[in-house]
Chain A
Amino acid sequence: MEHSSLAGRIFRGVALSLILIFFMFPIVWIFLMSFQSNDQILRIPPRILFEPTLANYEALISGQLRTAAGNLQISFMRNLFNSVVLSSAAVLLALLLGVPAAYAFARFKFRLGETIAFTLLSFRFAPPLLVLLPLSLYYQELGLNDTYLGIVWVYQLIALPLILWIVRGYFEDISPDIEHAYRLAGHSWREAFTRIAVPLAGPGIAAAGLLSFIFCWNNFVFALILASADKQPVTVGALAFVTASGIQYGQIAAAIVLSVTPTLLLALYAQRYLVEGLSLGAVKG
């Protein structure tokens, strides 16, 4: 980077701070809210300085929501657990199905290949509500309503196309000659896939897996319609905070902090792979 004048450096510092504040403000504000009571939150004008309370977190973890209208049972921790189970299982299944499929689409030309790939992608641009009505009828028939399997399956609409299309690009960037060379060295095509193609597409697979995990985690409408209380993830569970005696802002904030934490930690851990992965695919080495 070139050396710039003092004014330039100050300007850059100010601009960076503004951008940082703009993007970080909602997160910081929610973090602060999670340590305040409903009264403190709704006070006008709002204050930065307050006496922090852990009541919101206590309520979430114990499952007892005390409101003016009495005690309420909430199953937030159960919802959080559901989110983890559903998203992980959905991504795992999508990786198991999607990575070999992506390899096939990248390496082989077969009848209807492009059509199949595009159809899978089109799941991403169909509005979920359009799919949901027929799907809920089918699910009732099949007994998949309100099961983990059913939700993990419907999450494939989110995760599978994403993994398929991102990972396919990575496989296409690997020179087929590298795999040919490995086979000529005496290895089967299966070994060429697992020891050459998959490791080389590793950053892409990690990036696609992380992205689809985030999308699954944030999904609301599929689980709302297809699952009942004990199978619902946090996104749907948050509705419980809209109570008869008003909206429990403090608990909502605490719930958001808790539900964002796993994805945030995962993203921070995988950030290196994510950036490397997303840019590696763009530039052919």
Chain B
Amino acid sequence: MARLEINSVSKAFGAARPADRLSLAVEPGEIVAVFGPSGSGKTVLLRMIAGMFEPDDGDILVGGRSVVGAPPERRGIGMAFQNFALFPHMTARDNIASGLRARAGGGDVAGRVAAISKLLKIEHVLGHAPRELSNGQKQRTALARALIGNPDVLLLDDPLRNVDAKLRYEMRLELPNLLRRGTAAVLYVTQDYREAMAIADRIAVLIDGRLAQVAAPADIYAQPASVAVARLFGDPTINLAEVSPVVEHGMLSAMVAGARMRLGAADGAAPTGACWLGVRPEDLAVSSGSTDDAIPARILAITPMHEKAVLLLRLADGTEWLAALPPDAPQGAADDAVFVRFAPDQAMLFDRATGLRIGPSQRLKAA
């Protein structure tokens, strides 16, 4: 039982700063996904915890004890790599057992290897060399190797990146149970927001070496801290428009492509000035009938995606938005003139200067 604590950790490589005063704590038994676009510093963070790089500044604690400066083998950390990093000249069994044999009094090595490989369904390939394994089996072997020593901290560096789609789906279902079996503090790096949402208790959004938001998956989706976070979550991505909201009769509204859209009741801290208005594609409604709170638009293209249909729309002012509709909803055809509306509480407002979210839920802002 050990808590992982990262205190104001920084790291620079020349001009690049992949870690800029990062602070994060992971409780024993908790899974935190580190999510961010490529190059945002996810892997560097993991490698600092594992001891492949030392941070320039700040401290990393495992169970209250600083591990900075300690060699990797004494940090009590298990890690699964994106490229599996299996030992090519050893069988799967020896790969898995390598950690147990090194530690004092490995005990019943064969029994523990058998147990963990049964759990991961790789008992039948234990005698094989890594090159004889499929990618899925390689990844399960790598996971078994990371899990078997019951490490205090478990680091998973995008372990599903190199496996095929079907297996990735299966593992997304299996992994949370597998990882919660022990009491390890789990840090799970991924570039796929769906994976982060499926597996993690909390998501830490890392952008350009800084933590933009740390919150539960549903909270991040509903209340992104900034426009950058909002853009990372959701497929298709969130629609944005430049607006300058105004308050009229206690109601907040904004002009979007020539149409006045209501944004709900204005409270004390109602934003005025330059903002981004953000609406998720699935929160848009498209119809052919005009009302006064609808944005005139034209359908440019329709992409049926089985579980939904994605419409590419051009608003009156030329902005292009996407709408995701249920497949059975009336959609019209390309080049149809339509009207787009959204419920006031579905609209998000972001300060255009800072990118931070503003409005009614400002107090929920996590980062």
- Chain A interface (Cβ within 8 Å of chain B)? 175, 177-178, 180-189, 191, 196, 199-200
Contacts and interface: CB of A to CB of B under 8 A. Distances in A.
Contact of B87 (A178, A186, A188, A189): A178
B79 A181 contact: yes
A185 B83 contact: no
Interface in B64-93: 71-73, 75, 77-79, 81, 83, 85-89
Given A186-B73, A187-B73, A180 B50 contact: yes
Contacts of A181: 79, 81, 85-87, 142, 145
B52 interface: yes
A184 B47 CA distance: 11
A182 B96 CA distance: 11
A180 B72 contact: yes
Contacts of B75: 184
B54 to A, nearest CB: 14
A184 B72 contact: yes
Contacts of A189: 71
5 contacts: A178-B87, A186-B99, A186-B102, A187-B102, A189-B71
B103 interface: yes
Given A175-B83, A189-B71, A184 B102 contact: no
Contacts of B85: 175, 177-178, 180-181
Contacts of B149: 185-186
A259 B77 CA distance: 56
B81 A185 contact: no
Contacts of A196: 87
B135 interface: no
Given A182-B98, A183-B73, A200-B89, A177 B50 contact: no
A188 B103 CA distance: 11
A194 to B, nearest CB: 13
Contacts of B99: 184-186
A184 B78 contact: yes
Contacts of A184: 50, 72-73, 75, 77-79, 99
A183 B72 contact: yes
A196 B73 CA distance: 15
Contacts of A200: 88-89
A47 B25 CA distance: 89
A224 to B, nearest CB: 43
Contacts of B98: 182, 185, 187
Contacts of A191: 102
Contacts of B145: 181, 185
B89 A199 contact: yes
Nearest to A179: B85
A131 B98 CA distance: 49
Given A175-B83, A180-B50, A181-B81, A188 B89 contact: no
A186 B103 contact: yes
Interface in B126-155: 142, 145, 149
A187 B145 CA distance: 14
A191 B98 CA distance: 12
Contact of B71 (A175, A177, A183): A183
Contacts of B83: 175, 177
A76 to B, nearest CB: 43
Contacts of B142: 181
Given A175-B83, A182-B98, A188 B71 contact: yes
B51 to A, nearest CB: 8
A187 B51 CA distance: 13
Contacts of A182: 87, 98
Interface in B294-320: none
A123 B361 CA distance: 71
Contacts of B88: 178, 200
Nearest to B80: A181
* Shortest Cβ-Cβ A-B pairs, 10 listed: A186-B102, A185-B99, A177-B85, A181-B85, A183-B72, A185-B98, A186-B73, A178-B85, A177-B81, A186-B103
Interface in B149-180: 149
Contacts of B78: 184
B79 to A, nearest CB: 5
A180 B77 CA distance: 11
A180 B87 CA distance: 11
Given A180-B50, A181-B145, A184-B79, 14 more contacts: A175-B85, A178-B88, A180-B81, A181-B79, A182-B87, A183-B51, A184-B72, A185-B102, A185-B149, A186-B73, A186-B103, A189-B71, A200-B88, A200-B89
Contacts of A187: 73, 98, 102
Nearest to A186: B102
A225 to B, nearest CB: 44
A265 B99 CA distance: 41
Interface string B267-296: 000000000000000000000000000000
A196 B75 CA distance: 20
A177 B157 CA distance: 11
